[in-house]
Structure 1
Amino acid sequence: MAYVNGNLALQPKRKPEQQKQAFRETRTVVVKRKTLPMQEKLLYMFTILVCVLVAGVIIFRYAQIYQMDLQIKQLTKQQAQMQFDMVELKKQVALKSNPDYIKKAAEGDGYGAAPNGPIKVGTGPKETATAMNKE
């Protein structure tokens, strides 16, 4: 029975012999998983191997496509540069094909106009011949 200590109601204290230790028996269940049969393991392994090979082929093809795109870009740049160089060279050919330019360049190098008469060439110790056609 409860007794009162001041205004607090307390439960009666139990004696040690009354307190029983309750043991609860527990069992653990160990589940053993069945191993996969060898055929199923091989099937899974070959399936994974096929997936890896397909992924490898796809990655390899993408790498080849990337390299081809890079080569196309480089060749396009080279073609544009060569076209620019061709235009510049055609301008130089047109400029240097001009007879006035050729005449000025020859005079600058010290060449003069040919004399009106025939050109004489020394062929031997005392002989001379003309460079013109003999008539």
Structure 2
Amino acid sequence: MAYTRGNLAVKPKTQERVTQQRYKETTKVVTRRTGLPAREKFLYLLTLMAVIVVGGLLMSRYAHIYDLNKQAQSTIAEVKEDQKAIADLQVEKERLNNQVVENAKALGYVEASDKDVIFVPRTTTTNTSTGAESSSNAASSK
């Protein structure tokens, strides 16, 4: 008996067994796809259309929201620009108000004191009374 790698329990090989190869008979299953029924096709088409409509509605709403945000941002920018212009104009107004007294003194005007009384005579115009008469005459002639 042969000694194989320290194991005596190995069965000695007597002869290589020559086995005949057996052919295995296999069958192949062929499945054919049949066309979808008309109702199922219609159902798929309706589902697809519903998904497209809902997606279109969502996209249009998002586009509208985007447009509103863009308008709001442009309005805010315009308001900021207008506020800057208002601030500049207020500074200009204050500067001009301060120059009024200086320009008046340069032109020779004098500031009125509390004791000075300025009298401005009233004049009545007769044009308003004749205008009222002519409008009443025109109304009575109709």
Aligned residue number for residue 100 of structure 1 = 101
Greater helix share, structure number: 2
State the alpha-carbon separation in 2 of the partners of residues 53 and 92 from structure 1. 58
Letter in 2 for 1:84: K
Q: Per-residue displacement from partner, 1:102-124 (whole Å, max 9, x unpaired)?
A: 348xx6xxxx659xxxxxxxxxx
Q: Offset at 1:94?
A: 3.1
Aligned residue number for residue 21 of structure 2 = 21
Q: RMSD between aligned alpha carbons?
A: 2.6
State the 4+ residue runs in structure 1 displaced beyond 6 angstroms.
none
State the alpha-carbon separation in 1 of the partners of residues 14 and 102 from structure 2. 129
Greater strand share, structure number: 1
Identity %: 26
Pairs aligned (count): 101
* 33-42 vs 54-63, which moves further: 33-42
Aligned residue number for residue 11 of structure 1 = 14
Letter in 1 for 2:103: I
Q: 2:78 is paired with a residue of what secondary structure?
A: helix
Instruction: Tell which has more relative contact order, 1 or 2 (C-alpha 8 A, sep 6+).
Output: 1
Q: Offset at 1:11?
A: 2.8
Instruction: Give the alignment's TM-score, normalised by structure 2.
Output: 0.58
Q: Gapped runs of 5+ residues in structure 2? A: 5-11, 110-142
Q: Gapped runs of 5+ residues in structure 1? A: 115-135
